[in-house]
Structure 1
Amino acid sequence: MLLLTPGYAGAEPVHSTQEQQHNDEQHHMLGHGHRMILIDAGHGGVDGGTSHGKILEKDITLDISRKLFLLLRSDGFDAILNRNGDYAPSEENHWLRSSSRHLRDLAQRKELAETLPANIVVSIHINWASSPSKHGPLVLYRQEGRSFMLAKSIQSQLNHLYGTQTDSRPGKPFYLLNKITATTVIVEAGFISSPTDRAKLCSPAGQQEIAEAVANGIAAYLMEV
Protein backbone atom coordinates (compact mmCIF):
# COMPACT_ATOMS: atom_id res chain seq x y z
CA MET A 1 0.00 0.00 0.00
CA LEU A 2 1.42 3.37 -1.02
CA LEU A 3 1.35 5.81 1.87
CA LEU A 4 1.83 9.53 1.50
CA THR A 5 3.70 10.54 4.63
CA PRO A 6 5.72 13.53 5.86
CA GLY A 7 8.47 12.71 3.36
CA TYR A 8 6.11 12.96 0.37
CA ALA A 9 7.58 15.30 -2.24
CA GLY A 10 5.61 18.48 -2.67
CA ALA A 11 3.81 18.20 0.64
CA GLU A 12 5.99 20.66 2.51
CA PRO A 13 5.37 24.38 1.87
CA VAL A 14 8.02 27.05 2.33
CA HIS A 15 7.21 29.43 5.20
CA SER A 16 8.62 32.82 6.11
CA THR A 17 10.07 33.23 9.62
CA GLN A 18 6.91 35.00 10.81
CA GLU A 19 4.66 32.33 9.28
CA GLN A 20 6.78 29.58 10.80
CA GLN A 21 6.54 31.17 14.27
CA HIS A 22 2.75 31.38 13.94
CA ASN A 23 2.57 27.76 12.80
CA ASP A 24 4.81 26.61 15.66
CA GLU A 25 2.48 28.28 18.17
CA GLN A 26 -0.57 26.72 16.53
CA HIS A 27 1.09 23.30 16.37
CA HIS A 28 1.87 23.43 20.09
CA MET A 29 -1.72 24.37 20.89
CA LEU A 30 -3.20 21.61 18.74
CA GLY A 31 -0.73 18.95 19.82
CA HIS A 32 0.86 18.38 16.41
CA GLY A 33 3.28 15.49 16.26
CA HIS A 34 1.28 13.56 18.85
CA ARG A 35 -1.86 12.89 16.78
CA MET A 36 -1.61 10.91 13.56
CA ILE A 37 -4.45 11.47 11.09
CA LEU A 38 -5.16 8.71 8.58
CA ILE A 39 -7.09 9.79 5.50
CA ASP A 40 -8.91 6.85 3.97
CA ALA A 41 -9.72 7.46 0.30
CA GLY A 42 -12.79 5.29 -0.22
CA HIS A 43 -12.96 2.49 -2.81
CA GLY A 44 -10.39 2.15 -5.63
CA GLY A 45 -9.34 -0.33 -8.31
CA VAL A 46 -12.09 -2.78 -9.28
CA ASP A 47 -14.28 -1.18 -6.61
CA GLY A 48 -15.57 2.00 -8.23
CA GLY A 49 -18.08 2.79 -5.52
CA THR A 50 -21.25 4.58 -6.51
CA SER A 51 -21.47 6.29 -9.88
CA HIS A 52 -23.31 8.65 -12.22
CA GLY A 53 -22.67 7.78 -15.84
CA LYS A 54 -18.90 7.66 -16.22
CA ILE A 55 -18.33 9.57 -12.97
CA LEU A 56 -17.03 7.17 -10.31
CA GLU A 57 -16.94 7.65 -6.56
CA LYS A 58 -13.41 6.21 -6.30
CA ASP A 59 -11.99 9.03 -8.43
CA ILE A 60 -13.72 11.81 -6.49
CA THR A 61 -12.74 10.40 -3.10
CA LEU A 62 -9.11 10.20 -4.19
CA ASP A 63 -9.09 13.80 -5.47
CA ILE A 64 -10.64 15.16 -2.26
CA SER A 65 -8.39 13.00 -0.07
CA ARG A 66 -5.25 14.23 -1.84
CA LYS A 67 -6.29 17.82 -1.30
CA LEU A 68 -7.13 17.14 2.35
CA PHE A 69 -3.76 15.47 2.86
CA LEU A 70 -1.88 18.48 1.47
CA LEU A 71 -3.92 20.91 3.55
CA LEU A 72 -3.27 19.02 6.77
CA ARG A 73 0.40 18.61 5.97
CA SER A 74 0.77 22.32 5.15
CA ASP A 75 -0.68 23.05 8.61
CA GLY A 76 1.90 20.76 10.18
CA PHE A 77 -0.32 17.81 11.01
CA ASP A 78 1.08 14.28 10.91
CA ALA A 79 -1.22 13.12 8.11
CA ILE A 80 -1.09 9.92 6.06
CA LEU A 81 -3.03 9.07 2.89
CA ASN A 82 -3.73 5.36 2.43
CA ARG A 83 -3.76 5.35 -1.39
CA ASN A 84 -2.47 7.67 -4.08
CA GLY A 85 -3.69 5.79 -7.12
CA ASP A 86 -6.51 3.76 -8.59
CA TYR A 87 -6.18 0.48 -6.75
CA ALA A 88 -8.01 -1.37 -3.99
CA PRO A 89 -6.26 -2.08 -0.67
CA SER A 90 -7.56 -5.66 -0.95
CA GLU A 91 -4.93 -6.26 -3.64
CA GLU A 92 -2.28 -6.14 -0.92
CA ASN A 93 -4.15 -8.20 1.66
CA HIS A 94 -2.60 -11.67 1.64
CA TRP A 95 -3.23 -12.60 5.27
CA LEU A 96 -7.03 -12.64 5.48
CA ARG A 97 -8.44 -15.93 4.22
CA SER A 98 -11.71 -14.70 2.78
CA SER A 99 -13.25 -15.09 -0.66
CA SER A 100 -14.82 -11.65 -0.27
CA ARG A 101 -12.71 -8.96 -1.94
CA HIS A 102 -14.82 -6.32 -0.18
CA LEU A 103 -14.08 -7.79 3.26
CA ARG A 104 -10.35 -8.06 2.46
CA ASP A 105 -10.41 -4.40 1.41
CA LEU A 106 -12.07 -3.25 4.63
CA ALA A 107 -9.83 -5.44 6.76
CA GLN A 108 -6.74 -3.96 5.11
CA ARG A 109 -7.93 -0.42 5.84
CA LYS A 110 -8.65 -1.38 9.45
CA GLU A 111 -5.26 -3.08 9.83
CA LEU A 112 -3.44 0.04 8.59
CA ALA A 113 -5.26 2.23 11.10
CA GLU A 114 -4.34 -0.11 13.95
CA THR A 115 -0.73 -0.67 12.86
CA LEU A 116 0.27 3.00 12.49
CA PRO A 117 -1.43 3.55 15.02
CA ALA A 118 -3.73 6.37 13.91
CA ASN A 119 -5.33 8.69 16.47
CA ILE A 120 -7.92 9.92 13.97
CA VAL A 121 -9.32 8.17 10.88
CA VAL A 122 -11.30 10.16 8.33
CA SER A 123 -12.79 8.03 5.56
CA ILE A 124 -13.92 9.98 2.48
CA HIS A 125 -16.95 8.74 0.52
CA ILE A 126 -19.70 9.97 -1.79
CA ASN A 127 -23.42 9.37 -1.25
CA TRP A 128 -26.20 8.34 -3.66
CA ALA A 129 -30.00 8.46 -3.53
CA SER A 130 -32.79 7.48 -5.91
CA SER A 131 -34.13 11.04 -5.80
CA PRO A 132 -31.95 13.76 -7.38
CA SER A 133 -33.43 16.27 -4.93
CA LYS A 134 -31.66 14.65 -1.96
CA HIS A 135 -28.40 16.50 -1.42
CA GLY A 136 -25.80 17.69 1.05
CA PRO A 137 -23.04 16.20 3.22
CA LEU A 138 -23.42 13.66 6.01
CA VAL A 139 -20.81 12.64 8.58
CA LEU A 140 -21.17 9.24 10.26
CA TYR A 141 -19.37 8.46 13.50
CA ARG A 142 -18.22 5.54 15.60
CA GLN A 143 -20.46 5.37 18.68
CA GLU A 144 -18.15 6.87 21.26
CA GLY A 145 -17.61 10.40 22.52
CA ARG A 146 -14.56 11.57 20.57
CA SER A 147 -15.84 10.25 17.25
CA PHE A 148 -19.13 12.04 17.88
CA MET A 149 -17.29 15.30 18.60
CA LEU A 150 -15.16 14.99 15.46
CA ALA A 151 -18.19 14.21 13.30
CA LYS A 152 -20.13 17.14 14.73
CA SER A 153 -17.22 19.50 14.05
CA ILE A 154 -16.74 18.36 10.43
CA GLN A 155 -20.50 18.32 9.82
CA SER A 156 -20.76 21.93 11.00
CA GLN A 157 -18.10 23.06 8.53
CA LEU A 158 -19.65 21.12 5.64
CA ASN A 159 -23.14 22.42 6.49
CA HIS A 160 -21.79 25.94 6.24
CA LEU A 161 -20.27 25.15 2.84
CA TYR A 162 -23.42 23.51 1.45
CA GLY A 163 -25.97 25.72 3.20
CA THR A 164 -27.52 22.72 4.95
CA GLN A 165 -28.48 21.92 8.55
CA THR A 166 -27.87 18.19 8.66
CA ASP A 167 -26.92 16.46 11.92
CA SER A 168 -24.13 13.90 11.97
CA ARG A 169 -25.32 10.36 12.68
CA PRO A 170 -23.99 7.13 14.21
CA GLY A 171 -22.85 4.68 11.54
CA LYS A 172 -23.50 1.44 13.37
CA PRO A 173 -23.67 -0.92 10.32
CA PHE A 174 -20.33 0.22 8.86
CA TYR A 175 -17.32 -2.09 9.26
CA LEU A 176 -14.72 0.64 9.79
CA LEU A 177 -16.79 2.34 12.47
CA ASN A 178 -17.25 -0.96 14.27
CA LYS A 179 -13.74 -2.37 13.96
CA ILE A 180 -11.34 0.59 14.24
CA THR A 181 -10.67 1.61 17.84
CA ALA A 182 -9.35 5.09 17.00
CA THR A 183 -11.54 8.19 16.71
CA THR A 184 -13.18 7.44 13.35
CA VAL A 185 -15.69 9.12 11.03
CA ILE A 186 -16.99 8.53 7.53
CA VAL A 187 -17.50 11.72 5.53
CA GLU A 188 -20.17 11.40 2.84
CA ALA A 189 -19.09 14.53 0.98
CA GLY A 190 -22.27 14.95 -1.05
CA PHE A 191 -24.68 13.09 -3.33
CA ILE A 192 -23.40 12.12 -6.75
CA SER A 193 -27.07 11.72 -7.73
CA SER A 194 -27.74 15.42 -7.03
CA PRO A 195 -26.94 17.82 -9.91
CA THR A 196 -26.07 20.57 -7.41
CA ASP A 197 -23.77 18.38 -5.31
CA ARG A 198 -22.27 16.74 -8.39
CA ALA A 199 -21.12 20.08 -9.77
CA LYS A 200 -19.17 20.70 -6.56
CA LEU A 201 -17.90 17.14 -6.21
CA CYS A 202 -16.54 17.00 -9.76
CA SER A 203 -14.80 20.38 -9.95
CA PRO A 204 -11.28 21.01 -8.58
CA ALA A 205 -12.51 24.20 -6.89
CA GLY A 206 -15.43 22.39 -5.26
CA GLN A 207 -13.20 19.54 -4.12
CA GLN A 208 -10.81 22.06 -2.59
CA GLU A 209 -13.68 23.69 -0.70
CA ILE A 210 -14.79 20.32 0.64
CA ALA A 211 -11.23 19.43 1.69
CA GLU A 212 -10.85 22.79 3.44
CA ALA A 213 -14.13 22.29 5.31
CA VAL A 214 -13.05 18.84 6.51
CA ALA A 215 -9.59 20.13 7.49
CA ASN A 216 -11.16 23.01 9.42
CA GLY A 217 -13.48 20.57 11.17
CA ILE A 218 -10.54 18.40 12.23
CA ALA A 219 -8.60 21.43 13.53
CA ALA A 220 -11.64 22.71 15.46
CA TYR A 221 -12.12 19.29 17.04
CA LEU A 222 -8.48 19.09 18.10
CA MET A 223 -8.78 22.44 19.85
CA GLU A 224 -11.56 20.98 22.00
CA VAL A 225 -9.89 17.75 23.14
Structure 2
Amino acid sequence: MRSSIVRKLGIAILTAATLAWSVPLPAAATPEDGSFEEDDRKAAVQTPHSLPVADVLIDAGHGGIDSGTHYKDILEKDINLAIARKLYLILKSRGVRAVLNRTGDYALSNDNRWHRASRHMRDLSQRGSLTEEIEAKLFVSIHVNWSPKGKKRGPLVIHQKEGRSALLASFIQQALNRQQNTRRLPQSGGKYYVLNRIKVPSVIVETGFLNHDGDRAMLTSPRGQTRVAAAIAEGIFFYRCIAP
Protein backbone atom coordinates (compact mmCIF):
# COMPACT_ATOMS: atom_id res chain seq x y z
CA MET A 1 0.00 0.00 0.00
CA ARG A 2 2.82 2.41 0.89
CA SER A 3 4.48 1.85 -2.48
CA SER A 4 1.18 2.65 -4.16
CA ILE A 5 0.97 5.94 -2.25
CA VAL A 6 4.53 6.78 -3.23
CA ARG A 7 3.71 6.06 -6.85
CA LYS A 8 0.56 8.18 -6.88
CA LEU A 9 2.18 11.09 -5.04
CA GLY A 10 5.23 10.89 -7.28
CA ILE A 11 2.95 11.15 -10.28
CA ALA A 12 1.23 14.13 -8.69
CA ILE A 13 4.50 15.99 -8.24
CA LEU A 14 5.95 15.12 -11.64
CA THR A 15 2.89 15.58 -13.82
CA ALA A 16 0.49 18.07 -12.24
CA ALA A 17 1.98 20.97 -14.16
CA THR A 18 1.93 18.99 -17.41
CA LEU A 19 -1.66 17.88 -16.94
CA ALA A 20 -2.73 21.51 -16.42
CA TRP A 21 -0.56 22.97 -19.21
CA SER A 22 -3.53 24.87 -20.65
CA VAL A 23 -4.45 26.65 -17.41
CA PRO A 24 -4.15 30.48 -17.67
CA LEU A 25 -2.64 31.57 -14.35
CA PRO A 26 -2.93 35.04 -12.84
CA ALA A 27 0.08 37.18 -13.73
CA ALA A 28 1.39 37.23 -10.17
CA ALA A 29 1.25 33.44 -9.99
CA THR A 30 2.78 32.58 -13.37
CA PRO A 31 6.32 31.14 -13.10
CA GLU A 32 8.83 32.86 -15.35
CA ASP A 33 10.37 29.77 -16.86
CA GLY A 34 8.46 26.77 -15.50
CA SER A 35 11.49 25.91 -13.36
CA PHE A 36 9.39 24.60 -10.46
CA GLU A 37 8.36 21.60 -12.58
CA GLU A 38 11.98 20.83 -13.39
CA ASP A 39 12.96 21.19 -9.70
CA ASP A 40 10.29 18.66 -8.74
CA ARG A 41 11.53 16.25 -11.38
CA LYS A 42 15.13 16.50 -10.18
CA ALA A 43 14.10 16.06 -6.55
CA ALA A 44 12.09 12.95 -7.38
CA VAL A 45 15.02 11.43 -9.29
CA GLN A 46 17.46 12.15 -6.47
CA THR A 47 15.19 10.67 -3.78
CA PRO A 48 13.11 8.01 -5.52
CA HIS A 49 12.19 6.18 -2.32
CA SER A 50 11.25 9.21 -0.24
CA LEU A 51 7.75 10.49 0.31
CA PRO A 52 7.33 14.21 -0.40
CA VAL A 53 6.91 16.68 2.44
CA ALA A 54 4.03 19.08 1.87
CA ASP A 55 3.13 22.49 3.17
CA VAL A 56 -0.31 21.89 1.67
CA LEU A 57 -1.99 18.62 0.71
CA ILE A 58 -4.63 19.42 -1.92
CA ASP A 59 -7.48 16.94 -1.91
CA ALA A 60 -9.31 16.81 -5.24
CA GLY A 61 -12.66 15.54 -3.99
CA HIS A 62 -14.22 12.32 -5.31
CA GLY A 63 -12.81 10.58 -8.43
CA GLY A 64 -13.20 7.36 -10.36
CA ILE A 65 -16.48 5.59 -9.69
CA ASP A 66 -17.41 8.34 -7.22
CA SER A 67 -18.43 11.31 -9.39
CA GLY A 68 -19.81 13.44 -6.58
CA THR A 69 -22.77 15.61 -7.46
CA HIS A 70 -23.65 16.29 -11.10
CA TYR A 71 -25.72 18.46 -13.42
CA LYS A 72 -26.63 16.60 -16.61
CA ASP A 73 -23.22 15.45 -17.92
CA ILE A 74 -21.21 17.89 -15.75
CA LEU A 75 -19.53 15.95 -12.94
CA GLU A 76 -18.26 17.38 -9.67
CA LYS A 77 -15.15 15.20 -9.68
CA ASP A 78 -13.94 16.84 -12.92
CA ILE A 79 -14.45 20.37 -11.60
CA ASN A 80 -12.71 19.50 -8.33
CA LEU A 81 -9.69 18.16 -10.18
CA ALA A 82 -9.48 21.14 -12.54
CA ILE A 83 -9.50 23.65 -9.66
CA ALA A 84 -7.09 21.51 -7.61
CA ARG A 85 -4.58 21.42 -10.48
CA LYS A 86 -4.74 25.20 -10.84
CA LEU A 87 -4.35 25.67 -7.09
CA TYR A 88 -1.31 23.38 -7.17
CA LEU A 89 0.35 25.46 -9.88
CA ILE A 90 -0.33 28.76 -8.13
CA LEU A 91 1.03 27.52 -4.79
CA LYS A 92 4.12 25.99 -6.38
CA SER A 93 4.85 29.15 -8.34
CA ARG A 94 4.87 31.05 -5.03
CA GLY A 95 7.27 28.65 -3.35
CA VAL A 96 4.71 26.66 -1.35
CA ARG A 97 5.35 22.91 -1.28
CA ALA A 98 2.09 21.44 -2.53
CA VAL A 99 0.99 17.88 -3.27
CA LEU A 100 -2.10 16.67 -5.14
CA ASN A 101 -3.59 13.44 -3.87
CA ARG A 102 -4.83 12.58 -7.35
CA THR A 103 -3.96 13.92 -10.79
CA GLY A 104 -6.42 11.87 -12.82
CA ASP A 105 -9.85 10.30 -12.70
CA TYR A 106 -9.37 7.47 -10.22
CA ALA A 107 -10.71 6.61 -6.77
CA LEU A 108 -8.38 6.77 -3.79
CA SER A 109 -10.33 3.88 -2.28
CA ASN A 110 -8.52 1.59 -4.74
CA ASP A 111 -5.33 2.13 -2.70
CA ASN A 112 -7.01 1.27 0.59
CA ARG A 113 -7.63 -2.44 0.98
CA TRP A 114 -6.99 -2.79 4.72
CA HIS A 115 -10.12 -0.88 5.80
CA ARG A 116 -12.96 -3.43 6.08
CA ALA A 117 -15.75 -1.02 5.30
CA SER A 118 -17.60 0.47 2.36
CA ARG A 119 -15.78 1.91 -0.64
CA HIS A 120 -16.80 5.38 0.57
CA MET A 121 -15.22 4.85 3.99
CA ARG A 122 -12.06 3.42 2.40
CA ASP A 123 -11.83 6.52 0.23
CA LEU A 124 -12.20 8.87 3.22
CA SER A 125 -9.71 6.87 5.27
CA GLN A 126 -7.16 7.05 2.48
CA ARG A 127 -7.54 10.82 2.13
CA GLY A 128 -7.02 11.25 5.86
CA SER A 129 -4.03 8.96 6.17
CA LEU A 130 -2.09 10.74 3.42
CA THR A 131 -1.60 13.81 5.61
CA GLU A 132 0.35 11.66 8.07
CA GLU A 133 2.31 9.81 5.40
CA ILE A 134 3.68 12.99 3.85
CA GLU A 135 3.66 15.12 7.04
CA ALA A 136 1.42 17.77 5.51
CA LYS A 137 0.99 21.03 7.42
CA LEU A 138 -2.39 21.92 5.90
CA PHE A 139 -5.20 19.94 4.27
CA VAL A 140 -7.45 21.67 1.73
CA SER A 141 -10.23 19.61 0.17
CA ILE A 142 -11.89 20.93 -3.01
CA HIS A 143 -15.59 20.23 -3.62
CA VAL A 144 -18.71 21.56 -5.36
CA ASN A 145 -21.99 22.18 -3.55
CA TRP A 146 -25.61 21.40 -4.43
CA SER A 147 -28.86 23.04 -3.34
CA PRO A 148 -32.14 21.06 -3.44
CA LYS A 149 -34.06 24.05 -4.87
CA GLY A 150 -31.23 25.46 -6.93
CA LYS A 151 -31.49 28.94 -5.39
CA LYS A 152 -28.36 29.03 -3.23
CA ARG A 153 -25.09 30.32 -4.64
CA GLY A 154 -21.58 31.12 -3.57
CA PRO A 155 -18.69 29.50 -1.72
CA LEU A 156 -18.74 27.86 1.70
CA VAL A 157 -15.66 26.81 3.68
CA ILE A 158 -16.16 24.11 6.31
CA HIS A 159 -13.45 23.70 8.95
CA GLN A 160 -12.21 21.30 11.57
CA LYS A 161 -13.37 22.17 15.09
CA GLU A 162 -10.16 23.82 16.28
CA GLY A 163 -8.69 27.30 16.17
CA ARG A 164 -6.10 27.01 13.40
CA SER A 165 -8.58 25.38 11.03
CA ALA A 166 -11.13 28.09 11.81
CA LEU A 167 -8.50 30.75 11.03
CA LEU A 168 -7.57 29.08 7.73
CA ALA A 169 -11.26 28.76 6.82
CA SER A 170 -11.86 32.42 7.63
CA PHE A 171 -9.08 33.62 5.32
CA ILE A 172 -10.16 31.36 2.44
CA GLN A 173 -13.83 32.28 2.91
CA GLN A 174 -13.04 36.01 2.85
CA ALA A 175 -10.97 35.64 -0.33
CA LEU A 176 -13.72 33.63 -2.05
CA ASN A 177 -16.37 36.12 -0.88
CA ARG A 178 -14.41 38.91 -2.54
CA GLN A 179 -14.02 36.87 -5.70
CA GLN A 180 -17.70 35.90 -5.93
CA ASN A 181 -19.26 38.98 -4.28
CA THR A 182 -20.85 37.06 -1.41
CA ARG A 183 -20.97 37.45 2.37
CA ARG A 184 -20.96 33.87 3.64
CA LEU A 185 -19.33 32.85 6.90
CA PRO A 186 -17.31 29.63 7.32
CA GLN A 187 -18.90 26.79 9.25
CA SER A 188 -17.63 24.18 11.66
CA GLY A 189 -17.94 20.65 10.31
CA GLY A 190 -17.94 18.32 13.28
CA LYS A 191 -19.83 15.58 11.43
CA TYR A 192 -17.29 15.21 8.61
CA TYR A 193 -15.14 12.08 8.93
CA VAL A 194 -12.13 13.52 7.07
CA LEU A 195 -12.02 16.65 9.23
CA ASN A 196 -12.24 14.57 12.40
CA ARG A 197 -9.61 12.11 11.16
CA ILE A 198 -6.92 14.62 10.17
CA LYS A 199 -4.63 16.07 12.83
CA VAL A 200 -3.45 19.19 10.98
CA PRO A 201 -5.47 22.34 10.16
CA SER A 202 -8.06 21.20 7.66
CA VAL A 203 -10.84 22.68 5.56
CA ILE A 204 -13.37 21.58 2.96
CA VAL A 205 -13.91 24.24 0.32
CA GLU A 206 -17.32 24.10 -1.37
CA THR A 207 -16.45 26.33 -4.32
CA GLY A 208 -20.00 27.00 -5.52
CA PHE A 209 -23.37 25.41 -6.31
CA LEU A 210 -23.45 23.27 -9.42
CA ASN A 211 -27.21 23.70 -9.93
CA HIS A 212 -27.07 27.51 -9.78
CA ASP A 213 -26.75 28.94 -13.28
CA GLY A 214 -24.19 31.60 -12.39
CA ASP A 215 -22.06 29.35 -10.20
CA ARG A 216 -22.15 26.57 -12.80
CA ALA A 217 -20.96 28.93 -15.54
CA MET A 218 -18.05 29.97 -13.31
CA LEU A 219 -17.16 26.44 -12.21
CA THR A 220 -17.10 25.06 -15.75
CA SER A 221 -15.07 27.94 -17.21
CA PRO A 222 -11.25 27.66 -17.21
CA ARG A 223 -11.05 31.37 -16.34
CA GLY A 224 -13.60 30.95 -13.54
CA GLN A 225 -11.78 27.91 -12.18
CA THR A 226 -8.50 29.85 -12.15
CA ARG A 227 -10.10 32.74 -10.26
CA VAL A 228 -11.49 30.32 -7.67
CA ALA A 229 -8.09 28.64 -7.29
CA ALA A 230 -6.38 32.03 -6.95
CA ALA A 231 -8.80 33.04 -4.18
CA ILE A 232 -8.18 29.81 -2.28
CA ALA A 233 -4.43 30.35 -2.66
CA GLU A 234 -4.78 33.92 -1.36
CA GLY A 235 -6.46 32.62 1.78
CA ILE A 236 -3.68 30.08 2.29
CA PHE A 237 -1.01 32.78 1.86
CA PHE A 238 -2.67 35.02 4.47
CA TYR A 239 -2.91 32.11 6.90
CA ARG A 240 0.75 31.22 6.46
CA CYS A 241 1.74 34.82 7.18
CA ILE A 242 0.01 34.72 10.57
CA ALA A 243 -0.09 31.13 11.81
CA PRO A 244 3.15 29.51 13.12
TM-score, L = length of structure 1:
0.87
Cα distance, 1:224 vs. partner? 1.1
- 5+ residue gaps, structure 2: 19-29, 34-51
Q: Aligned Cα RMSD in Å?
A: 2.0
- Return the alpha-carbon distance in structure 1 between the equivalents of residues 176 and 138 of structure 2: 18
Matched, 1:138 2:156: yes
Paired letter, 1:57: E
Helix, strand or coil: the match of 1:208? helix
| CA distance 1:55–1:6, shift in 2 (3 Å) | closer
Per-residue CA distance 1:31-88 (angstroms, 9 max, x = gap): xx99610000000000000011111100000000000000000101010000000011
Where does residue 144 of structure 2 map in the other structure?
126
Helix, strand or coil: the match of 2:114? coil
Where does residue 92 of structure 1 map in the other structure?
111
| CA distance 1:181–1:113, shift in 2 (3 Å) | same
- Return the alpha-carbon distance in structure 1 between the equivalents of residues 107 and 121 of structure 2: 11
Where does residue 127 of structure 2 map in the other structure?
109
Q: Is the 8 A contact 1:5 1:79 kept in 2?
A: no
Helix, strand or coil: the match of 1:182? coil
User: Between the two proteins, what is the percent identity of the paired residues?
Assistant: 48
- Return the alpha-carbon distance in structure 1 between the equivalents of residues 149 and 17 of structure 2: 41
Paired letter, 1:111: S
Where does residue 218 of structure 1 map in the other structure?
236
Aligned residue pair count? 208
Q: Is the 8 A contact 2:13 2:100 kept in 1?
A: no
Where does residue 185 of structure 2 map in the other structure?
167
Q: Is the 8 A contact 1:6 1:78 kept in 2?
A: no
Cα distance, 1:13 vs. partner? 3.3
The structure carrying a bigger helix percent of its residues is 2
Which among 144, 165, 180 is matched to residue 198 of structure 2? 180
| CA distance 1:87–1:8, shift in 2 (3 Å) | closer
Alignment of 1:139-158 (within 5 A): 139-158=157-176
- Return the alpha-carbon distance in structure 1 between the equivalents of residues 151 and 70 of structure 2: 16
- Return the alpha-carbon distance in structure 1 between the equivalents of residues 107 and 16 of structure 2: 23
Helix, strand or coil: the match of 2:223? helix
| CA distance 1:107–1:35, shift in 2 (3 Å) | closer
- 5+ residue gaps, structure 1: 16-32
- Return the alpha-carbon distance in structure 1 between the equivalents of residues 135 and 61 of structure 2: 19
Which among 197, 200, 207 is matched to residue 189 of structure 1? 207
- Return the alpha-carbon distance in structure 2 between the equivalents of residues 69 and 83 of structure 1: 11
